[in-house]
Every structure is written in structure tokens, then in C-alpha cells.
Structure 1
Amino acid sequence: MTAAPPDAPSVRSVVVDEPGEHRLVTGPQPQPGPGEVRVAVHAAGVCASDREVYDGTRAAGYVRYPVTPGHEWSGTVDAVGEGAVPFGPGEPGGTSAQLLGRKVVAEGFRACLRCDRCREGATSLCTSGYDETGFTRPGAFADSLVLPARLLHLLPDEADLRAAALLEPAAVVAAAVLAARPRAGERIAVLGAGTLGMLAVQLLAAHSPAELMAVDPREQRAEQALTMGATHARTPGAEDSFGGSGSPEGYDLVVETAGAPGTAHDACMLARRGGRVVLTGMFEPGSQGIDPVHLSVSQLTVRSVFGAPSAAWSYAVRAFGSGLLDPAPLITHELPLTAFGEAIGLVGSGDPTVGKVLLKP
């Protein structure tokens, strides 16, 4: 990012100086440097990770104060730095001028692209250290955002930017689906019907499962999953504690999205012998562990997902562009940038009627 000229217009951003302390600041509009673009933010989603940043409960090394949060967002490119060119499907050999005015989302991880993990395509496992928009770099709870053009994913001109703000969690879910390799006719369960769970239901429904069960203790959320592609929905019953899955043989695939203290354990109990489990929730220290005896005897395959590599982003953006993925029904609240405190309160309220909360600059 380069210095702003003296006559640059002012823009606003939310800054969390330290846990529990935030302010709305006004300063010169940021200018993109070489290889960078500036995006006018249309909408930015508030998630539990942003609440962790505000509360000070995010793990050490995964946030750098002071910080402008905001890692789920959509917007329009309004300035392009020298050498910033579009790339990706359908964009070979483009010019910087072709980026101006384009609707975009972007990957959050600032991977080095040089280490062995990056070279094999696992950019979310970059060995150069954790670096992510909204946590260690300025995020999208602001009027403008500057970032490397190489992280962009271009959206169709007719794309709904309000819904596109949810493509970051959709990319995380896409990473889980790519790891899970669902097959047509399988019996699948999704544990958790929050934002990640609902997006998982949509992407998994596209693989034509024989059964797609959504499980959530909030009856209203479980039932909403039926409108997103689930064939069945239920709340966990105290009488079974997931020891039986609701089906005698268990599920071929279980995707865990809740990150609650017991859901990693519960996901493994839902799976059939020889089944597959993918964990996407962010667990806190002290969560119930997976029983190694059950894991071994049942011969389960367990994968975990943290963030999303480029391939998962491409998958999510394609699914969104083709209409297979529609995050819009998950949005329940839209607030101005000045209402950051209220938005954080909603996300941490535990109210089952609160879905995705957006900040709109």
C-alpha cells in the first residue's frame, strides 16, 4: 500500500485497539501499491472469529492488535496499482483496466506461494507463518480495503454482492466438501446448522445424497436446513447422546460445522464403521476429544479444515455463480459500519433467530 495523496478523500474503518476496546476512525483513503487493488467494500459479514478478536479469546499468533477486523466481504474494485492484473478462469492475459469496476471477493490468507505446501496447492498450510486479512492485516470493516490482486476472485457482473459477502465461509465449507469427496447415493449428516452448516447442506445437496440429515439443538435452525436442501432434520436427543445416529448403520459422511465442546466426538459417533468425518468448527481448549478406541475400531477417516486454499475458493465462487449456492437466506441483520458494537453483541447473543449479521459501509 502506498501513501495517500494530500487531497485523498476520507474513509472510515473500525479499529479494535485491544480486547474490548474499539473505535471508528477516519483517515485518508488508502492507495494501492504495485500488484495491489483497492476495493470499495459493499458488505462484510460478522462471525464468531470476529467476536473472538473483540473478546481477546483468539489464540495467540492468530491476531495482531490494533486491527481492523473483517474477513468475510464483497465489493467493487475502484483503484488498481501498477502491475495488478486479473487472473483466474476466463481471465488469461487481462490488463489492469479490466479490473476497474469489477465485483470481487478475495482469499484471506496471505500465502507466500514459495514454500512446499503452497507449491502443492495447500495455500492454507503455508509454512511462512499465519497472515490473514482481518486478523493480522487490515480487514473489511471499513469503507475501503487494499489487498494483493492475486487474491481476487472475480464475480459475474450480475452477482448479488450482499449474498457474496458470505463466500468466505462458503470457501471453508467448499474445502471440507473437497476433502470429504461425497458420492451420489451416500447417507450424509451435517452437525450444526449455523452459517457453515447451512452452506454445507447446500453444497452437499448438489452431490445427490440418498439422505442429508441436519442436526442442531436449535429446532428453528434445524428446520431451516430443510429449505436449504436437507432431506431430514433433528435436534440431538438426550436419550441417545449420538450413540446411535438415528440410523442403525450410521452415516457414510459426517461434516461437523458447530465447533461446540462435544461436536468433534459426536461427529465420530454419527459415522458408520469405515465412514468419513470432516471437522470445520473452531474448537476451544478443553473440548471433548475423539475416543481413540472408537476411532481405531470403527476405522474412521477424520479430516480437519482451517481456512480455505485457492481451489476451495474457486469451487465456492463457481457454485455461487451457477446458482448452486445461495447464501442470501442466511442473512438476518444488516447494520451500518457505525453499529459495530451492536453487531458484535448480536453475534455473541446466543439468540437462535440471529443468522448472518452484515456491516454495510
Structure 2
Amino acid sequence: MRAAVLAGPGEMRLKQVDRPEPGPGQVRVKLEGCGVCASNLTPWSGPEWMSFPGEPGGMGHEGWGTIDALGEGVTAMQLGDRVAALSYKSYADFDVAEADAVVKLPPALHGQPFPGEPLGCAFNIFRRSDIEAGQTVAIVGIGFLGAILTRLATDAGARVIAISRRPFSLDVARQFGAAEVIPMEDHGGIIERVKELTDGKFCERVIEAVGKQWPLDLAAELTAERGKLIVAGYHQDGPRQVNMWLWNWRGLDVINAHERDPARYIEGIREAVDAVASGRLDPSPLYTHRYPLERLGDALNDTRDRPDGFLKALVVP
């Protein structure tokens, strides 16, 4: 099969490798595609701790496709089942996953791309955020994740204030239900605008979905007394500083919304499957760019550089 191999900083190569065989309790998935995650950008940049070449298919963890081989003891899945998989070498034609780490996709999703991991991540973050009707929720950073959270919070009856850098992202936030949008330009100006919109009380819930220092600082300042600050951004490019004086004075609850329990990931994916299949959520406008596997490097560069109109890249073998 073909698999992408990270050969060096910013260098991806396509290689022919042996097709993986499922072991006991595993399934093999013939991949239809894999989403590109911002978490890939750190290894793509080639930090000192990276070693090269990487594993074939490595970094790809948002795959979906059809089961074409069953390992010993697998009875809950069948050959031909279409699934979203929580596996980790999906920048390839095939990948292997634990049988309890795949979620069957119903006929209602036939032909639709379904990067299960980021969709499930959004539902898990929403659950951890404890958003209720009548609350004002600020979402700092409107990419794929921020847009879905905008829809989920709006559908829950919350009033969403979307804050993002790009005009295109703010347009998407409006389409996904945001009541107010604010360009992410001036720190003090954003604070004053949110203060005005909330009669000086700020927001009961604030979700930081960027993964950088400034958005984290801003998110804390937008959180009301006894409110919840939810850290959903991927902060893996270095240490962060926090304004503990502010966090303490306002009595904030700070939630790191990153799950590490695979079972919780799978539960989030199941919730996403139900929501998309029922029509309650339509993520299709967010899949803005598609690339063949041999152009994975371009997909990673665009995920980093965010050209106009870009939200989410899918790699389709």
C-alpha cells in the first residue's frame, strides 16, 4: 500500500510499504480519507526532539473508511462495515485499529466524509463546558472546532459571541449561529465590546480554541466571576503563563478539555455520528479543502498558513 512518511522538517514522502495485518481484537480499515489536524504542525516543523523518518502513515488520526479484514476474536464488526476509526497511522491507504476504537457509520452518512476524532473532540469539549440555555458563551478562535462548538452552544440555547482573526471565520460563525462576532484585532477593544454586550458581567462560559498565549490571556479576561474558562486549544509548542491574580480574584473554574481516555473519545464520536446522521449538525461546509495523499505536505502547509477560505483539510487516498 501507499503511506506518507515524514522524512524531515517540512518534508513528506510517499512510499510503498506492506499492508498491515490486524492482530487479535483488531480490524483493518481501507481508508476513504483522513482529516488533517493542527496537532500535526509541531512534528511537521521538525522540533529537536523529533527523529526521522517517521512511521509510515504516522500523525494521521482522523481516518474513516471500510473494514476489509478482521482480527481473531472480533465479532461486533463485519467486513464491509463503514466506520470512523480512532487509529494513528491513517495517512495511508489502510490502517489498523482496535475493534473497540471504531464506530460504525449508518447508511444516512453514505458517501459523506467523517473525520471522527475531531468531531468527537468537539462533542467532548461541549460536554465538559457545561453550557446551558440563557448563558452567554464566548468562543475565541473559529476554525473547525470553534464553528462546531458555536452550533452546539447555540442549539443548547446559549448566546454565542464568536471572536476570530479572519473575516471568513467570522462569516462561518454567523452561519453556525453566533449572535455576535468580533474581529480578533485589539485586546482592549475586544474586552470593552464583550463588556458592553454583557452589561459589564462578561461571559459565564469562555472556550479558548486557538492554542496560543494571547487568546488564552484574552479568554480569561472575558470570563465572568465564578464562570468557567475551557481550554480547548492545542498548547504544545511551549510553556504558557497565566494571570493567576485574575483567575483567583474572579474565582474561575478552569477546565482542560483534552480527553486522554480512548473510551471517552469513542463516546464523543458516537454522539457526533448521531448528530450528523439525524441532521442536527451539518459539518460539510467546514471541509473546505481536499488533497490527494501525495499532496499531504501542501495540506499541512495550508493548515499552518490558513489561506483565505480555509477551515479544514481532508486527505483522500
TM-score, with structure 2 as normaliser: 0.89
Asked if the contact 2:108/2:277 (under 8 Å) is kept, the reply is no
Matching residue of 1:22: 12
The answer to whether 1:337 aligns with 2:293 is yes
Rounded to whole Å, the distance in 2 between the matches of 1:55 and 1:162 is 31
CA distance in 2, matches of 1:176, 1:237: 26
Q: State yes or no: 1:104 paired with 2:76.
A: no
Question: Is 1:65 aligned to residue 15 of structure 2?
Answer: no
Task: Choose which of 220, 224, 229 in structure 1 pairs with 2:177.
Answer: 229
1:202 aligns with 2:151: yes
1:203-224, CA deviations, whole angstroms, 9 ceiling, x for partnerless residues? 2222111x11111021221121
Q: Which residue does the alignment assign to 2:91?
A: 141
Tell me the distance in 2 between the aligned counterparts of 1:207 and 1:107. Answer: 27
Gaps of 5+ in 2: none
Confirm or deny: 8 A CA contact 1:336 1:359 kept in the other structure: yes
Pair 1:13–1:255, CA change in 2 (3 A): same
In the alignment, is the contact (CA less than 8 A) between 2:139 and 2:161 conserved in 1? yes
Partners of 1:76 and 1:30 in 2: how far apart? 15
Query: In the superposition, relative to structure 1, how do residues 23 and 258 fare at CA in structure 2: closer, same or farther (>3 Å)?
Result: same
- Provide the secondary structure at the position in 1 that maps to 2:106: coil
Change (3 A) 1:60 1:84: farther
Question: What residue in structure 2 maps to residue 90 of structure 1?
Answer: none
Deviates more, 1:182-191 or 1:245-254: 245-254
Cross-structure match for 1:325: 281
Cα distance in 2 for residues equivalent to 1:28 and 1:333: 29
Instruction: Report the 3-state secondary structure (helix = DSSP H, G, I; strand = E; otherwise coil) of the residue aligned with 2:161.
Output: strand
Match of 1:264 among 184, 204, 216: 216
Q: Secondary structure at the match of 1:173?
A: helix
User: For residue 37 of structure 2, what is the amino acid of its counterpart?
Assistant: C
| Distance across 2 between alignment mates of 1:284 and 1:55 | 13
Structure 1's consecutive aligned runs of 4 or more residues displaced over 4 angstroms after TM superposition are 59-64, 284-288
CA change 1:62–1:257 in 2 (3 A) is farther
Gaps of 5+ in 1: 1-10, 87-95, 109-132, 134-138
Which of 217, 240, 244 is matched with 2:188 structurally? 240
User: Which of 21, 34, 52 does residue 44 from structure 1 map onto?
Assistant: 34
Looking at structure 2, the residues matched to 291 and 63 of structure 1 have their Cα atoms a distance apart, in angstroms, of 38
- Residues 239 and 168 of structure 1: is their aligned pair in 2 closer, same or farther, counting only changes over 3 Å? closer
Deviation at 1:300?
A: 0.8
User: Partner of 1:339: helix, strand, or coil?
Assistant: helix
Q: 1:267 deviation in Å?
A: 0.9
- Alignment size in residue pairs: 308
Alignment of 1:1-361 (within 5 A): 11-57=1-47, 65-68=54-57, 69-86=59-76, 96=77, 99-108=78-87, 133=88, 139-160=89-110, 162-165=112-115, 167-209=116-158, 211-238=159-186, 240-244=188-192, 245-246=194-195, 247=197, 248-285=200-237, 289-307=241-259, 309=264, 310-361=266-317
CA positional deviation for 1:140: 1.0
Relative to structure 1, the CA distance from residue 107 to residue 194 in structure 2 (aligned partners, 3 Å threshold; closer, same or farther) is: same
Greater CA drift, 234-243 or 177-186? 234-243
CA RMSD of aligned residues (A): 2.3
Give me the whole-angstrom Cα distance separating, in 2, the residues matched to 1:279 and 1:340.
28
Separation in 2, partners of 1:63, 1:261: 29
Higher helix share: 2
> What is the DSSP-based 3-state SS (H/G/I as helix, E as strand, rest coil) of the residue aligned with 2:295?
helix
CA distance in 2, matches of 1:142, 1:30: 11
